[in-house]
A and B are shown apart, each in its own frame.
Chain A
Amino acid sequence: MSKLIVSPSPHIHSAVSTRSLMTDVVIALLPAVLCSFIFYGWNQILLMFVSVATCVLLEWAITKYLMKKPSTIGDMSAVITGILLALNVPYTTPWWVIFIGAVFAIGVAKLSFGGLGQNIWNPAIAGRVFLLVSFPTYMTTWSAPKGLFGVDAVTGATPLGVIKEGLLQGSTVPELMGSFSYKDLLFANIGGSAGEVCALALLAGFVYLCIRKVIKPWITLSIFATVALTSLLFWGINPARFTDPLFNLLTGGLILGACFMATDYVTSPMSTWGGVIFGIGIGFLTMMIRYFGSYPEGVSFAILIMNSVVPLLNMWFKQKKYGRA
């Protein structure tokens, strides 16, 4: 007989591990990734490859040679950062730009804080904002989708960009809105970064994550609700100046951000109510930036700002303790 193992209770463990959770997120992202390949073609595939490979290899190299710790790439979190980053840039971005973004995301935003679980900001968003500030030209030159088997792309601005530009030039929202239909927005027939374009694929992934109980839906739903209510208020007051709720829900990285980036475990509050407040903050800040800021899009900034408030939210919103008032 071999030696008995002795350990403190409990003696069994749920099948859920960090790796299984992260793998579920990757699975949830696959529809959107496939969509982006089909709509944007080879360049998007190249970007995805460069982004994921850089994230994973860099994490491996840094943990092994700089931190001298067991490698953490097995937990799949670097893969997610890579995918999210690639979905967050226009497909026309040169590969070396996304390489720099991936280096920043993993090297600075994630591992310099101590790796998974220690970072304050979502690495993919930090990488994206870094690129947006450093390479505004590449990051804001949007192209209408060409498709894997499609015809030449038409360079243009994203719907939000069109509106912002148009408003500056004195046009009204209803005039500008004539150029796109909601059907186009829902089915990815618009310009934007890869992950902005297929709302349905992203929502399918979100539903998958909720069913698998990987995430709780409250953060995402409160972002959607806040965006809808805020824009309803402003649109109701002045439809000529402000865009309508449905448009705001479907454009920009809102769905990608709300479903996959704001719900990142590490950088979101743990309690349900903390999550709701977090979501309200993101939704409100997003709308403020969209309506009044100089950038057309605000989801990334809103998430980054709210990421910084998470420790406070964790302190303020706690679960009710048993038998205590």
Chain B
Amino acid sequence: MAKRTFSIGGIHPHDSKISRECAIRPLPLPPTVYISVAQHIGAPAKPIVAPGDKVKVGQPVAEPGGFVSAFIHSSVSGTVKSVGPRKDLAGNNQMTIEIAVEGDEWAEGIDTSDTLVTAIPEDNKAILEKIRLGGVVGLGGATFPTHVKLSPPPGSKCECLIINGCECEPYLTSDFRTLLEKGEQVVIGAAIIRQVLGNVRCVFGIEENKPEAIAHIREVIAKLGCEGMEVMSLKKRYPQGGEKQLIDAVMHRQVGSGALPISVGAVVQNVATSLAVYDAVQKNKPIVDNSITLTGECFPNQANVLVRVGTPLSFIIDQLGGMPADAVKVISGGPMMGKAIANLDAATLKGTSSLLFLRADQTVRGEASNCIRCGRCADACPMGLEPFLLNRLAKAGDMDKLEANAVQDCIECGCCLYSCPANIPLLDVIRMAKADVMKIMRARAAAKK
């Protein structure tokens, strides 16, 4: 059988998974952690501690600031030193809780042992509450609060839970290592989510370049005797891990423009989220740490490390031998969709998945020249858009035509800019146009109401 993949566009960037053999290892605790209250999509959390308060690991330090929001917990034990603005990795001020680390004492009720808890509680409401209290958010990149995603709007029915193990971005290996090392926990986490959604079919979508992970998860599913679960090996292609692309690949269904995955009966959760659900439900352990890949050809100490949320990036880099001399760009996330870091004093967030170091020859953009109308951007676009056209319309400021040509469907995957032979900064311009058009659309929708 031909391997499955999504049906439109896509590219094949160099794989570069050079840190795939590095086992996840914990880093020592930093002297101070800086916990931002904006670690998820939606309203920032509200701090509930004040300077001078003593906190323990896993104790909530900020509560949800709205319906789409999440709890944030202290990742260390120690004393709150300050609550105030601090520069995030983009250099903008963000409300941050600064905690001086004193020892490593965990809050009561958290099971820190390694014993595998296989029995899943029966009460779905209690499970969702535990997920909410655990501050679990989608760790695949969007950091959408998980308890909201697992409470589908009335009238919609989930048919398939997809666990996203594609890790289609080059370089990243933390999900791969998690699948290999914490396979049991991930599978139980998936079983919990599956139960909450009504015992639906559950598919692990893993790209074929991770055969060890595919074999291991198949083994674990057989060993634990999980029902309704399967592993699907997918053709390697970027952006397979995009929610809409993965649904297309696994279910051969396409989510309509502006609609949620649940409209076609799908819910997608990332591998790391599945692990976080296991921790929150079975161990009462909120998200206080996450695994991060440190990689790049110029970074000598390739590693997958487990760090506490809020650890300063510079501390992590120093622990692993310091900043490489020829690195000119540090990226939080993958090279296709990650954010370039402007401020290395910033701290990690729940959703931080990697620190990627690139040399000048790998990343500096070439001089933009004339569009040669080769159509490579349109061929590469996984949403079937025409980036060359959107770029032109955006520069002319033609909002109506931009909307007619579906600029709002752009998933900002970067395939267009990656493949443009003339180095035209297509996505830079389209991203702005998309924001403008979506603002107009929202205003119109609000006016209708």
Contacts and interface: CB of A to CB of B under 8 A. Distances in A.
A16 B372 CA distance: 13
Nearest to A275: B375
Given A75-B369, A116-B370, A321-B384, A20 B363 contact: no
Nearest to B385: A321
Contact of A11 (B338, B382, B421, B425): B338
Contact of B328 (A2, A10, A77, A117): A2
A118 interface: yes
Interface string B393-437: 000000000000010010010100111011101011001000000
- Please report whether the interface of chain B is mostly helix, strand, loop or mixed according to DSSP: loop
B352 to A, nearest CB: 15
A11 to B, nearest CB: 5
Contact of B170 (A12, A20, A72, A77): A12
A21 B414 contact: no
Interface residues of A, number: 37
Interface stretch (A138-146, A151-159, A264-272): A264-272
A13 interface: yes
Interface string B354-386: 001010101111100111111110110111111
B83 interface: no
B119 interface: no
A179 interface: no
B150 interface: no
Nearest to A318: B386
Contact of B406 (A11, A116, A321): A321
B372 A117 contact: yes
B94 interface: no
Contact of B364 (A5, A77, A320): A5
A322 B337 CA distance: 20
Given A10-B414, A320-B8, A117 B373 contact: yes
B371 to A, nearest CB: 5
B242 to A, nearest CB: 10
B378 A271 contact: yes
A13 B374 contact: no
B406 A324 contact: yes
Interface in A240-279: 265-266, 270-271
A10 B418 contact: yes
A18 interface: yes
B330 interface: yes
Contact of A323 (B257, B328, B369): B257
Interface in B313-349: 323, 325, 328-331, 335-342, 344
Given A318-B386, A322-B382, A9 B13 contact: no
Contacts of A16: 376, 419, 421
B199 interface: no
Contacts of A21: 372, 374, 421
Nearest to B375: A270
B11 interface: yes
Interface stretch (B152-160, B228-236, B248-256): B248-256
B369 A270 contact: no
A12 B419 contact: no
Contacts of A20: 421
Contacts of B132: none
Interface in B113-156: none
Nearest to A17: B421
B414 A9 contact: yes
B255 A323 contact: yes
B446 interface: no
- Please report whether the interface of chain A is mostly helix, strand, loop or mixed according to DSSP: loop
B244 interface: yes
A200 B353 CA distance: 53
Given A4-B340, A320-B384, A9 B427 contact: yes
Nearest to A320: B384
A137 interface: no
A115 B323 CA distance: 44
B370 A117 contact: yes
Contacts of A320: 8, 384
B2 interface: no
A4 B329 contact: yes
B447 interface: no
Question: Most chain-A CB neighbours within 10 Å: which of B248, B374, B382, B427?
Answer: B374
A14 B329 contact: no
Contacts of B374: 21, 265, 270
Contacts of A5: 328-329, 340, 360, 363-364
Contact of B384 (A6, A77, A319): A319
A7 interface: yes
Interface string A29-51: 00000000000000000000000
Contacts of A13: 365-366, 417-418, 423
Given A9-B339, A323-B244, A14 B373 contact: no
A8 interface: yes
A66 interface: no
A312 interface: no
Contacts of A237: none
B372 A323 contact: no
B299 to A, nearest CB: 14
B427 A266 contact: no
Nearest to A115: B370
B259 interface: yes
A9 B239 CA distance: 14
A12 B13 contact: yes
Interface in A90-121: 114-118
A318 B384 CA distance: 9
A111 B396 CA distance: 23
A266 B372 contact: yes
14 contacts: A5-B329, A8-B428, A10-B336, A11-B358, A12-B13, A12-B14, A14-B11, A17-B421, A18-B369, A117-B373, A270-B375, A321-B406, A322-B8, A322-B382
Given A6-B329, A11-B340, 10 more contacts: A4-B328, A5-B363, A9-B414, A10-B335, A12-B336, A17-B421, A266-B372, A270-B378, A323-B244, A323-B257
Interface of A: 1-2, 4-14, 16-18, 20-21, 72, 75, 77, 114-118, 265-266, 270-271, 318-324
